[in-house]
Amino acid sequence: MTHVARGLIVGAAETERLGRIPDRSAIELHAEAARAAISDAGLTKDDIDGLATAGMPPITVADHLGLRPSFMDGTYIGGGSFLLHVRHAIAAIDAGLCENVLITHGSSARSRVGHPPRVTDPASPPGQFERPYGTVTPPTMFPIGLLRYMKEFGLTHEQLAEVPVAQREWSSRVGRALFRDRITVDDVFASRLVAYPLHLLQCCLVTDGGGAVVVTSATPSKARWWPKPPVYVLGTGEAMAHSMISGMADFTTSGAFARSSALAFEQAGVGPEDVDHLMIYDAFAHLPIYALEDCGFVKRGEAGAFIADGHTRPGGSLPVNTNGGGLSYTHTGLYGMFLLLEAVRQVRGEAEAQVPEVDVSMVQAVGGMFEAAGTLILGSSDACVGR
């Protein structure tokens, strides 16, 4: 099967350390990852003429790195921002605005060194209509529709507990994962309640770290040698649904997941049945359940059983979150970059828990509390042709 590539990811890197990095400020984690990704691509600083980032303004990151880009994108939807940056970078490269776009992420969410505080304006919609009821951090908002989903579709607490159990089977094979011990459903239930119905082991980590990628043209006339196998971007999508979770149209489904993934599938000319490897943004255990259904991998109400039955685990029919996910690997607040980096490793064949023959990998990210979404469908050289 051959598909048309829209763009190439030619450099990809994480910071050397993930977890607790109290001796680095957030901006330096952007910078470390940026240098590593440019080096991974065999490029130098002078080759970079586009910059996209989230969590900090692009001018802050560009100035810190001594870059003077002719294309900047500071699109911010939350954790999935970087997937939108890839989509926008490809459009900018196609339009001739730039040639090589650097996309950076750095966060000191754990140590909070040079990390901007979270502030909600009391006159904003969430400031007026959510914060007075005791919302503060994502766990106090994100799971608010889950009990409605459980009632409508019969999802059990045991099935919900299987999500982190399945992902620990992956992270137990990943040396860089922060949590590597295999766990049971009983371990999940024994961990403290954070926001009923979710226990601690069903909530993501909070870590420091960074990552970056370099995106360039897939046009055959611009083809050149790259030190690592280029990863072909086959399709991209983005969507938004609401601006605060209490505005969710239907609390049992993410309209943003459905629309973003449909755009990416259509552009790539593939469907869920063609996906060999899937990364889903898992800030909390219910997100993979929503995404598997909203992206069309299973029918509505079937994802809990699909995960509990082992389909997403090592050796399963659809490997999901092979780095262990935000529940086990790392979660810097804006985790989407790490979803993308694991998908790149899997397509290149250099992942720690490598899945055999990944020709098509899909990355499905959330933005905010189901507010927005981004999707990338990536292919190996075996799956693609240039335009």
Under the rule (CB under 8 A), what is the footprint of other proteins?
120-123, 125, 127-137, 139-141, 143-148, 151, 192-198, 246-247, 251
Shortest distance (Å) from residue 130 CB to other proteins: 5
Question: Based on CB atoms, which residue is closest to other proteins, 60 or 140?
Answer: 140
Question: Based on CB atoms, which residue is closest to other proteins, 105 or 110?
Answer: 110
Residues 6+ apart with CB under 8 A from 239: 255, 256, 257, 258, 259, 260, 263, 372, 373
CA–CA dist 179, 321 (Å, integer): 14
**Encoding tokens for residue 75?**
């699109």
Question: Based on CB atoms, which residue is closest to other proteins, 121 or 266?
Answer: 121
CA–CA dist 141, 143 (Å, integer): 6
Shortest distance (Å) from residue 132 CB to other proteins: 5
Shortest distance (Å) from residue 125 CB to other proteins: 5
CA–CA dist 330, 288 (Å, integer): 16
Question: Based on CB atoms, which residue is closest to other proteins, 247 or 255?
Answer: 247
The residue among 24, 209, 208, 16 whose CA lies nearest residue 110 is 208
Question: Based on CB atoms, which residue is closest to other proteins, 54 or 239?
Answer: 239
The residue among 207, 213, 211 whose CA lies nearest residue 329 is 207
Shortest distance (Å) from residue 194 CB to other proteins: 6
Shortest distance (Å) from residue 329 CB to other proteins: 23
Question: Based on CB atoms, which residue is closest to other proteins, 48 or 109?
Answer: 109
Residue 126's H or E segment, with its range, is helix 125-129
Shortest distance (Å) from residue 136 CB to other proteins: 4
CA–CA dist 218, 283 (Å, integer): 32
